[in-house]
Amino acid sequence: MDHWQGYTCLDFVKRTNQKDYVYIFSGSGCCSFVGRRGGKQKLSLGLGCDTFGIIVHELGHCVGFWHEQSRPDRDNYVKILYENIHQQDKHNFKKLEDDDINSLQQRYDFHSIMHYGSDFFAKRGGVDTIVPKLRGIKKEELGKQYYSRYTFALSNQDVIQTNLMYRCNIFNENGGTIFAKSGSFHSPNYPLPYSVSRDRVWIITNGQSNGSSITLSFDDFSVGKNDGTGICKNDYLDIRNGKGFLSQYLTQLCGNEKPDPVTVLGE
């Protein structure tokens, strides 16, 4: 719980007289309902469920997350090897429909705490049950956070998606999300120089429906180098219309000249 509270806006409180609450007990296996169900909601942490990653994973279900590989678009990113899965376990790999799951326009996250490992529910040792389709992604990366005992287990996408789901203003010089009609942010260490080659992601939304717009204005700007051809060298600022790296690309800015305001229309 401290882990979720430390990296998101969520706050777990001890129950007093609340009608809706989560009851954590030592049951049979590691399992939880997804999202708020109402009343006494059970979360089981049985034998073998006491590792850091598994506890964070089961709390993730309670927070509102399905398994990452259950996304409707999962077949674009991973292949499920049903021939290596016990018949009674195949339901764990069911693909959900768009009406069942909402990923808030976030990209598929191989590193999510909610993603299965490559050999989960395998019939025997040495065989895979799920493998990545994309180049550059190794099967060893799948679900590695699930087994994590002492390291940071929530992926960056887990944090972003949680704060989007709960409409949180987690927004600072190191990136984050903001829900507001107006606001401001700056690079790390401003007005001093920032560290080079470090990615920072800010997601800005006014919470309005389609047809609204957001205007980004600049008070000061000095990012990377522009060789005069419009091509950025080293560092740069990318502006996109959407909530992920696969969203619509709008413009890339760099250099020492303050850019003109950029207006983004809602999708």
CA–CA separation, 258 and 264 (whole Å): 18
pLDDT at 147: 53
pLDDT at 145: 61
Point out the annotated binding site for Zn(2+).
57, 61, 67
pLDDT at 170: 61
- Dihedral sign for Cα 246, 250, 252, 257, please: negative
Is 257 an active-site residue? no
Domains of the chain, CATH where assigned:
1-160 (3.40.390.10), 169-266 (2.60.120.290)
pTM of the complete model: 0.67
- What is the distance between the terminal CA atoms of the chain, rounded to a whole angstrom? 35
Exposure letters 202-213 (e unless 16+ CB within 10 A, then b): bbbeeeeeeeee
pLDDT at 192: 84
E strand or H helix at 262, and its extent?
A: strand 262-265
CA angle 21, 25, 31 (to 5 degrees): 85
Q: What is the mean pLDDT of each run of 10 residues along the chain (267 residues)?
A: 86 93 92 94 92 91 95 94 94 93 86 90 91 84 61 75 79 66 76 74 71 86 81 83 74 90 81
